[in-house]
Amino acid sequence: MKFFAILTRVHKWVGLFVGLQIILWTIGGLVMSILPIEKVRSEHLIATPVLDAITATDILSPVEASQRAGLGAPISARLHTWLGRPVYTIQVLEGEGGVVDARTGEIFTPVDEDTARKIALADYGGTGLINTISWVEKGPVEVRFEGPFWRVVFDQPKNYTLWIDPNTAQVRAHRSGMWRFYDFFWMLHIMDYGSRDNFNSPWLIAFAGSAFLFALSGAGLLWHRFLLRPRRKISE
């Protein structure tokens, strides 16, 4: 009986310790199960990319394109279309590399504000207009990358933001109000209040272990309540 008295105290105090977090876990799980992940990722606001066939006519070799662009010797080069023209995305042994016109060797990176606007409009599949374009040296936590970036904000939906990497000329993140709402509960769910991408945070491990102890002690008390405790005899 003394053991179960101790178990009762453990169950009570652990419950007080993890109770609020269990509620937050439950709310977070509910939010994440209700919101369609496709809308959270803003897939409905991303325009269908225009795919243009690339012919071999007048296409430079990756080495020649890299040389004309003033880059070093390429270690990899990907041929694709970008804003309606054939380009190489080139990586070099030393330096940033860049996006280079596959016909002329003109380099487009780092992109300027006008090019960032074109990239944003080509990516955007909504009906709104651009509100602001600004240069950000270090991206906030919602980007998940350090930066720098071009930050392009549309008016529909409100504060819908594209984060464009000037060194790759690609949109690195699509962020909407729904994404930010989802991300807030994701932060509470995994208990990583900084970068929000560490699923093995010490807080999560500690509270998950405590929640397991809470459930285990509750199962022990339930077993004692219904199986071990003597039953009262019903007087005739």
Long-range contacts of the stretch 111-119 (C-beta < 8 A, 24+): 111/150, 111/164, 111/166, 111/169, 113/150, 115/169, 116/150, 116/152, 116/164, 116/166, 117/152, 118/83, 119/83, 119/164, 119/169, 119/170, 119/171
Per-residue confidence (pLDDT) for residue 210, from 0 to 100: 75
Q: What is the pLDDT of residues 194-235, one digit of tens each?
A: 888 887 888 888 877 777 777 776 776 666 666 555 555 555
Q: What is the pLDDT of residues 40-82, one digit of tens each?
A: 999 999 999 877 788 877 899 999 999 999 998 899 999 999 9
- Of 88, 109, 130, the residue at which a domain comes to its end is 109
**94 within domain boundaries:** yes
- How many domains does the chain contain in total? 2
Please state the length of the chain. Answer: 236
- Of 109, 137, 158, the residue at which a domain comes to its end is 109
Per-residue confidence (pLDDT) for residue 32, from 0 to 100: 93
The tokens 């070093």 sit on which residue? 72
User: Do the strands 149-154 and 74-82 form a parallel or antiparallel pair, or are they unpaired?
Assistant: unpaired
CATH number for the domain spanning 54: value is 3.10.450
- Of 80, 109, 138, the residue at which a domain comes to its end is 109
Cis peptide before 157 (omega within 30 of 0): yes
Q: Same structural domain for residues 64 and 20?
A: no
**124 within domain boundaries:** no
pLDDT above 70: percentage of residues in the chain: 85
**138 within domain boundaries:** no
Per-residue confidence (pLDDT) for residue 57, from 0 to 100: 79
Average predicted confidence (pLDDT) for the chain: 86
Q: Where are the alpha helices (DSSP H) in 133-190?
A: 177-190
Structure tokens at 206: 């500690």
Per-residue confidence (pLDDT) for residue 67, from 0 to 100: 93
Q: Phi, psi at residue 132, to the nearest 5°?
A: -145, 150
What's this model's pTM, rounded to 2 decimal places?
Answer: 0.81
**24 within domain boundaries:** yes
**216 within domain boundaries:** yes
Per-residue confidence (pLDDT) for residue 228, from 0 to 100: 54
Domain assignment of residue 209, given as a range: 2-38+182-226
What are the residues facing 107 on neighbouring strands? 100
Q: pLDDT category, 120, cuts 50, 70, 90?
A: very high
The residue that leads in pLDDT, 180 or 221, is 180
The tokens 């549309």 sit on which residue? 154
Q: Same structural domain for residues 77 and 26?
A: no
The residue that leads in pLDDT, 193 or 148, is 148
Q: pLDDT category, 136, cuts 50, 70, 90?
A: very high
Per-residue confidence (pLDDT) for residue 21, from 0 to 100: 83
**231 within domain boundaries:** no
Q: pLDDT category, 16, cuts 50, 70, 90?
A: low
**133 within domain boundaries:** no
- The answer to whether residue 236 scores a pLDDT higher than 50 is no
Give the least confident one: 18-22, 89-93, 128-132, 139-143.
18-22
The residue that leads in pLDDT, 133 or 14, is 133
